[in-house]
C-alpha cells in the first residue's frame, strides 16, 4: 500500500511540468459582498473564479480583489455559511478592472444547493436528473445530531434502526431495504466494507461533516453495482475561510444517564488561496442505559475519539491536490456487570475499533478553457477490531472456558484506486459532459472467534470500467445515461449494469424525473447479518451454499416535483414512486443436519426473489428565517415465497420494515440571535422476529407486531454575537429529544433475553445542554 501511494504521488508530480503557463494582459476583479436584506457587508465570504485557483476572501467591510485574471469569460462564485451560493458570469477584457456588488440571500432555497453525488460533477440540485437530498450542517445542528447516523433520520425513504440491545449495532434502511443494499461513500469514494458497515456510520462526528448527499435508487453509473437501495455520500469539511469552533454537548438519557461530547475544529486558508487545511477533533463518552431495571443494558456504554484533517494545495493554475486523513477509536460494551471483565459477566458484547482513513485526490485540467479534466484518486480504510460476544450465561449452564474464549479479532483493509476523465462539449444534439473511468477495489478481511472455532479470511477484488454522459438535449430535457462493467473475483462472469435517468423541465416550476437501474450483490462470507446472529449469543457457523450465485436487481423510480422560488424563499412538493425487484435474493436457512446441540449452522442460499415498492411525499417551505420540511414514505416489501426469519415462523413479508414512516423539521430564526427548532420522526407498526426457547425470556419463537412510535424533539439556541452583524460568538443551546418518551416497553429481561428484539426510537427522553464558540 505504501508503494502504491508513492507511485500515485510520483505520477501526480510528473504531470505537473506541462502546467507551467504564463499569460499577458491580465486584468482584475474587485467588489463588495453584502447581505441582500440588510445591505450590511459580509466578512470572510469566499469569492472564487470556478475552474481556476484564483480567489479572495472578503474583508470586514465586505471588500475583495482578485488580480492576475486573464481576459475571457468566467463564472464567479460567492459562498458564505448561512447563505445561498451565488454564481455570476463575468467577461473580462485585456487589462480591464471589473467592480461588482454581490448580494447574498439567506440559505433557504434548496434548488440552489450544489451536489456531486448524482453525476460526480458539481451541479445545482434542481439540474440533476436523479433526486439527491441533502443533510447539511444546518439540519444536523437543528436536530442536535451528534454523528452521521443520527442525522440521516430526516430524509424521505430513509430510516435508522437499532438491531441489538447489547452492543447497539445500528443500520440505515433505504426504500425498505437493509443497509447492505446501500452504498456508503466517503467524499465519493467506496471504501466502506461489510465490517465497516456494522458500526462505521457512528464513527463520523458531526463536526467533520460538511453535508451528506442521499440518492435513493440506482442513479449514476459511476458508482458500484451494490448501490441498489441508494447511495449515502459523506462530504467532509474542506477549508474555505479562516475559522475556529469549539462545541460541547451534555445529554442526560432518561434524565439521568450522562452522554457527553466535546468537539474542536479549525480551518486555515492562505492569503493567496493556494493552500488550506481543516483540522478537527471529537470526544464522546456515554454511560450504559438500563430501560427496565434488570441490570442489563438497552444502550451500550460508549467511548469514541476521532481526529483528522482535510486540505488542499493548488500546485498550479490547472492542478490541485487534496489529501484527507482521519482516525477513530471506539470502545463500546453492553450486557451487565460492567465493573468486571467481559468474560465474567452473564452476558457481554463489546468491541474496540481503531480505524485509519486516508485519501489523496488529484485534479488536472488538460485545457486552458477548463473543459477537460483528469481526476486521479486513491482511498483506503483500515480497521482493527477486538470483540467479545459471550458470557457465563445462567448458573446452571456455566461454561467458564467457553466464556473466556469468546474474544475475537478482526482486521479489515479496504482500498480503492481510480482514474476519471471528463470532457464538456457541444454537438450531437445538445451539450454533453462525458465521464470515462476505471476503478479498482480491494478488500481483505480476517476475522476469528476461537470460542466457536470460526475463522474467516476473505479477499475481494473488483475491477470496474464505467462511462456516463450527462446530456442536456435542450434547456428542458436532460438525459443521464451510462453503464458500468464489474469484474468481481467471487463471480464467474463480468457484470454489466446499465443505468438511465431523465429530467424533464415541463415549466420553470414543474419537473418530472425517471430512472431505470440494474445492480448486483456478490456472495461473500462476512456480512452484517453475521453480526446479528452473533449478537444473539449463540454458537454458530455460517456457510455459503455450494450453488450460491450473485443477487441481481432491477430498480425503477419516477418523480414529480413542483417548486416555486422567489427572492429569498422557496416552497414545493415532491412525489416519488419506487419499485425494486430482487432476483435470487440472499436468504439464510437453518441447517439442521449440520447442527449439534451446542452449535447452530446457518447457510446462505438464493431465494426465489423479493419485491419492494412504495412512494414518498415531501413538502417544504423555506425562507432565510423559517425552514419547514415534511416527508412521508409508504411501502410494501415481500418475498415471492415464504421465508423463515426465525425457526418455525414463516412469512412472505420483509421483516423489521414498517409500511409507513416519516419525519418533519421546523427551524425558526426569530431574531439574529434566537433560533427555535422542532423535529420529529414517525415509525409505523412492523413485524419483528422474537426468539424464544427453554432458557430464553419467552417460551417460543414469535413474529411480533409492534406499536407505532412518534419521536418529538426540540432545541432552543441563543447567540451572543461579537458584533451586531456577526455570526461569530458564543451560542448556548438547550433542548429535549423524544419529548413524549415514545420508546419500546417490552424488552426481554436478564441473561435469557433476545437482544435482537429491539425496535423503534434509538433512545428514550433525553435532555441536553450545548455550547459553541465560533469565530
Task: Give the separation between CA 375 and CA 372, rounded to whole angstroms.
Answer: 10
Tell me the percentage of the chain whose pLDDT exceeds 90: 49
Q: How far apart are CA 722 and CA 63, in angstroms?
A: 20
pLDDT at 55: 84
If one compares 531 and 591, the residue with the highest pLDDT of the two is 591
Mean pLDDT of 461-472: 94
CA distance 215 to 170: 20
- Return the pLDDT at 386: 92
Collect contacts of 594-601 with beta carbons under 8 A, ≥24 apart. 598/539, 599/452, 599/539, 599/540, 599/541, 600/538, 600/539, 600/540, 600/541, 601/540, 601/541, 601/542, 601/543
List CB contacts of 694: < 8 A, sequence separation 6 or more: none
Closest CA to 75 of 434, 370, 508: 370
Mean pLDDT of the chain: 86
Residue 75 — pLDDT band, cuts 50, 70, 90? confident
Residue 643: how many CB atoms within 10 A of its CB? 22
pLDDT of 573 > 60? The answer is: yes
| Rounded CA separation 164/754 (Å) | 9
Secondary structure of the chain: what % helix, strand, coil (to 5)? 10, 55, 35
Nearest to 204 by CA among 187, 217, 183: 187
More confident residue, 769 or 695: 769
pLDDT above 60 for 550: yes
3-state secondary structure of 395: helix
The pLDDT score that the predictor gives to residue 625 is: 84
Question: What is the distance between the alpha carbons of residues 603 and 595, in angstroms, rounded to a whole number?
Answer: 11
133 is written with which cell numbers? 437530498
Rounded to an integer, the average pLDDT of 603-617 is 90
| pLDDT confidence of residue 364 | 94
CA distance 387 to 349: 7
Q: Write b or e for each residue in 96-128: b if 16 or more Cβ atoms lie within 10 A of its Cβ, otherwise e.
A: eebeeebbbbbbbbbbbbbbbbbbbbebebbbb
From the number of C-beta atoms within 10 Å of its C-beta (0-12, 13-18, 19+), residue 646 rates as buried
Classify residue 273 as exposed, middle or buried by CB count within 10 Å of its CB (0-12, 13-18, 19+).
buried
- Determine the pLDDT at residue 14: 41
Torsion angle (degrees, nearest 10) of CA 603, 605, 611, 616 = 40
C-alpha cell, 108: 433557504
Nearest to 470 by CA among 129, 145, 719, 183: 129
Grid coordinates representing 360? 489523496
Give the pLDDT score at 711. 97
Closest by CA to 220, choosing from 467, 499, 432, 437, is 499
Residue 598: predicted pLDDT: 63
Question: What's the pLDDT at 597?
Answer: 67
Strand 660-669 and strand 626-646: the pairing is antiparallel
**What is the Cα–Cα distance from 193 to 350, expressed in whole angstroms?**
20
The total number of residues shown for the chain amounts to 775
Confidence bin at 126 (pLDDT 50/70/90): confident
DSSP annotation string for 457-512: EEEEEEEEEEEEEEEE-SSSEEEEEEEEEEEETTSSS-EEEEEEEEEEESSSSEEE
Q: Is the pLDDT of residue 397 over 70?
A: no
3-state secondary structure of 175: coil
With a cut of 50, say whether residue 215 has pLDDT above it.
yes
Which grid cell is 234? 459523506
pTM as predicted:
0.84
Beta strands, E only, 584-609: 586-590, 600-606
Mean pLDDT of 671-693: 93
What integer pLDDT is reported at residue 535 of this predicted model?
Answer: 44
More confident residue, 17 or 365: 365
Concatenated DSSP letters of 271-313: TTSSEEEEEEEEEEEE--B-SSSSS--SB-EEEEEEEEEEEEE
Lowest-confidence pick of 127-141, 207-221, 515-529, 600-614? 515-529
Task: Indicate whether 578 pLDDT > 80.
Answer: yes
Q: Which three cell numbers stand for residue 68?
A: 492576475
Instruction: State the Cα–Cα distance between residues 456 and 543, nearest whole angstrom.
Output: 10
Cα gap 559→129, rounded to integer Å: 10
pLDDT at 653: 92
Residue 21 has pLDDT above 50, yes or no: no
Question: What pLDDT is attached to residue 1?
Answer: 44
Measured between alpha carbons, how far is 109 from 94 in angstroms, rounded to an integer?
Answer: 36
pLDDT band at 22 (very low <50, low <70, confident <90, very high): very low
Write 542-546 long-range contacts (CB < 8 A, 24+). Answer: 542/588, 542/601, 542/602, 542/603, 542/604, 543/591, 543/601, 543/602, 543/603, 543/604, 544/603, 544/604, 545/603, 545/604, 545/605, 545/606
pLDDT at 305: 97
Q: Indicate the range of 10-19, 514-523, 636-645 predicted with least confidence.
A: 10-19
The SS3 assignment for 453 reads coil
Exposed/middle/buried for residue 560 (C-beta within 10 Å: 0-12, 13-18, 19+): middle
**Start-to-end C-alpha separation, the chain:** 39
The angle at the Cα of 658, spanning 655 to 664, to the nearest 5 degrees, equals: 150
- The whole-number pLDDT of residue 280 equals 97
Cα 176–Cα 181–Cα 182 angle in degrees, nearest 5? 95
Percent of the chain past pLDDT 70, that is, above it, reads: 88
Which tens digit of pLDDT belongs to each residue from 151-198?
A: 898 988 999 888 888 888 888 898 888 888 888 888 888 888 877 777
Rounded average pLDDT over 350-365: 94
pLDDT, residue 86, reads: 84
> From CA 379, how far away is CA 213, in angstroms rounded?
19
Concatenated DSSP letters for 562-585? EEEEETTEEEEEEEEEEEEEEES-
Q: 246-268: per-residue pLDDT in tens?
A: 999 999 999 999 999 999 999 99
Residues 721, 723, 727, CA angle at the centre, nearest 5°?
50
Confidence of residue 613 (pLDDT cuts 50, 70, 90): very high
Q: What DSSP line would sit under 643-708, residue for residue?
A: EEEETTEEEEEPTT--SEEEEEEEEEE-SSSEEEEEEEEEE---EEEE---TTSSSSS-EEEEPPP
Tell me, what's the pLDDT at 176? 84
E strands within 222-256? 230-236, 243-253
Number of helical (H) and strand (E) elements in the chain, helices listed first: 6, 43
Distances (CA, A) of 757 to 487, 535, 763, 768: 38, 11, 15, 28
Nearest to 45 by CA among 56, 31, 30: 56
CA distance 417 to 120: 16
| CB atoms closer than 10 angstroms to residue 314 | 20
Per-residue pLDDT tens digits for 283-337: 999 999 999 999 999 999 999 999 999 999 999 888 999 999 999 999 999 999 9
Amino acid at each position: 500500500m505504501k508503494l502504491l501511494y508513492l507511485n500515485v504521488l510520483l505520477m501526480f508530480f510528473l504531470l505537473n511540468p506541462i502546467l507551467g503557463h504564463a499569460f499577458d494582459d491580465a486584468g482584475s476583479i474587485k467588489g463588495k459582498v453584502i447581505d441582500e436584506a440588510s445591505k450590511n457587508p459580509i466578512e470572510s465570504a469566499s469569492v472564487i473564479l470556478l475552474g481556476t485557483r484564483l480567489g479572495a476572501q472578503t474583508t470586514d467591510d465586505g471588500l475583495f480583489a482578485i488580480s492576475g485574471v486573464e481576459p475571457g469569460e468566467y463564472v464567479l462564485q460567492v459562498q458564505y455559511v448561512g447563505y445561498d451560493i451565488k454564481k455570476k458570469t463575468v467577461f473580462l477584457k485585456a487589462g480591464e478592472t471589473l467592480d461588482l456588488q454581490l448580494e447574498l440571500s439567506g440559505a433557504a432555497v434548496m434548488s440552489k444547493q450544489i451536489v456531486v453525488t448524482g453525476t460526480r460533477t458539481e451541479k445545482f440540485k434542481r439540474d440533476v436528473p436523479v433526486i439527491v437530498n441533502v443533510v447539511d450542517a444546518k439540519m444536523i445542528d437543528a436536530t442536535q445530531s451528534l454523528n452521521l447516523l443520527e442525522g440521516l433520520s430526516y430524509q424521505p425513504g430513509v430510516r435508522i434502526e437499532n438491531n441489538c440491545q447489547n452492543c447497539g449495532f445500528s443500520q440505515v434502511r433505504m426504500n425498505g431495504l437493509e443497509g447492505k443494499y446501500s452504498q456508503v461513500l466517503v467524499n465519493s469514494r467506496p471504501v466502506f466494507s461489510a465490517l465497516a458497515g456494522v458500526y462505521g456510520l457512528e464513527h463520523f462526528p458531526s463536526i467533520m461533516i460538511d453535508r451528506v448527499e442521499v440518492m435513493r435508487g440506482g442513479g449514476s453509473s459511476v458508482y458500484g453495482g451494490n448501490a441498489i437501495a441508494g447511495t449515502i455520500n459523506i462530504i467532509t469539511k474542506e477549508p474555505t475561510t479562516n475559522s475556529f469552533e469549539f462545541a460541547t454537548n451534555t445529554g442526560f438519557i432518561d434524565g439521568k444517564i450522562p452522554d457527553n461530547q466535546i468537539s474542536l475544529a479549525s480551518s486555515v486558508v492562505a492569503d493567496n488561496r493556494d493552500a488550506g487545511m481543516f483540522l478537527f477533533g471529537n470526544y464522546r463518552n456515554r454511560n450504559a442505559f438500563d430501560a427496565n431495571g434488570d441490570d442489563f443494558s438497552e444502550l451500550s456504554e460508549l467511548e469514541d475519539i476521532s481526529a483528522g484533517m482535510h486540505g488542499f494545495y493548488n500546485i498550479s493554475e490547472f492542478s490541485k491536490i487534496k489529501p484527507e486523513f482521519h482516525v477513530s477509536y471506539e470502545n463500546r460494551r453492553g450486557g451487565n456487570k460492567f465493573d468486571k471483565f467481559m468474560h465474567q459477566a452473564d452476558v457481554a458484547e463489546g468491541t474496540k475499533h481503531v480505524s485509519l482513513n486516508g485519501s489523496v485526490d488529484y485534479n488536472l485540467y488538460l485545457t486552458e478553457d477548463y473543459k477537460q479534466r483528469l481526476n486521479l484518486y486513491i482511498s483506503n480504510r483500515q480497521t482493527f477490531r477486538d470483540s467479545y460476544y459471550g458470557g457465563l450465561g445462567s448458573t446452571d449452564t456455566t461454561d467458564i472456558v467457553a466464556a473466556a474464549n469468546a474474544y475475537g479479532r478482526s482486521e479489515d483493509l479496504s482500498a480503492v484506486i481510480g482514474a476519471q476523465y471528463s470532457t464538456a462539449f457541444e454537438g450531437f444534439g445538445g451539450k454533453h459532459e462525458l465521464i470515462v473511468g476505471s476503478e479498482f477495489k480491494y478488500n481483505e478481511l480476517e476475522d476469528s472467534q476461537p470460542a466457536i472455532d470460526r475463522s474467516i479470511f476473505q479477499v475481494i477484488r473488483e475491477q470496474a470500467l464505467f462511462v456516463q454522459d450527462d446530456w442536456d438535449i435542450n434547456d428542458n430535457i436532460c438525459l443521464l445515461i451510462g453503464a458500468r462493467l464489474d469484474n468481481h473475483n467471487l463471480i464467474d462472469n463480468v457484470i454489466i449494469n446499465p443505468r438511465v435517468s431523465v429530467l424533464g423541465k415541463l415549466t420553470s416550476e414543474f419537473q418530472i424525473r425517471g430512472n431505470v437501474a440494474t445492480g448486483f450483490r456478490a456472495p461473500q462470507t462476512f456480512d452484517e447479518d453475521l453480526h446479528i446472529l452473533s449478537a444473539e449469543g449463540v454458537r454458530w457457523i455460517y456457510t455459503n451454499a455450494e450453488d450460491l450465485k450473485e443477487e441481481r436487481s432491477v430498480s425503477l423510480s419516477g418523480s414529480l416535483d413542483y417548486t416555486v422560488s422567489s427572492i429569498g424563499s422557496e416552497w414545493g412538493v415532491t412525489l416519488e414512486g419506487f419499485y425494486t425487484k430482487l432476483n435470487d435474493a440472499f436468504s439464510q436457512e437453518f441447517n439442521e443436519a449440520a447442527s449439534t446441540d451446542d452449535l447452530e449452522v446457518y447457510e446462505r442460499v438464493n431465494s426465489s426473489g423479493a419485491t419492494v415498492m412504495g412512494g414518498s411525499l415531501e413538502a417544504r417551505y423555506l425562507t432565510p428565517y423559517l425552514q419547514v420540511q415534511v416527508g412521508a414514505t409508504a411501502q410494501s416489501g415481500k418475498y415471492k415465497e415464504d421465508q423463515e426469519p426465525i425457526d418455525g415462523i414463516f412469512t412472505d413479508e420483509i421483516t423489521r420494515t414498517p409500511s409507513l414512516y416519516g419525519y418533519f423539521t421546523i427551524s425558526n430564526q426569530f431574531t439574529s440571535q434566537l433560533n427555535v427548532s422542532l423535529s420529529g420522526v414517525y415509525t409505523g407498526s412492523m413485524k419483528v422476529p422474537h426468539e424464544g426457547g427453554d432458557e430464553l425470556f419467552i417460551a417460543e419463537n414469535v413474529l411480533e407486531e409492534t406499536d407505532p412510535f412518534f419521536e418529538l424533539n426540540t432545541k432552543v439556541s441563543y447567540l451572543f454575537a461579537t458584533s451586531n452583524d456577526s455570526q461569530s460568538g458564543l451560542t448556548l443551546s438547550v433542548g429535549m429529544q423524544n419529548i413524549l418518551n415514545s420508546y419500546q416497553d417490552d424488552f426481554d429481561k436478564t441473561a435469557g433475553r433476545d437482544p435482537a428484539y429491539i425496535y423503534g426510537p434509538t433512545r428514550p427522553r433525553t435532555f441536553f445542554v450545548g455550547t459553541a464558540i465560533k469565530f
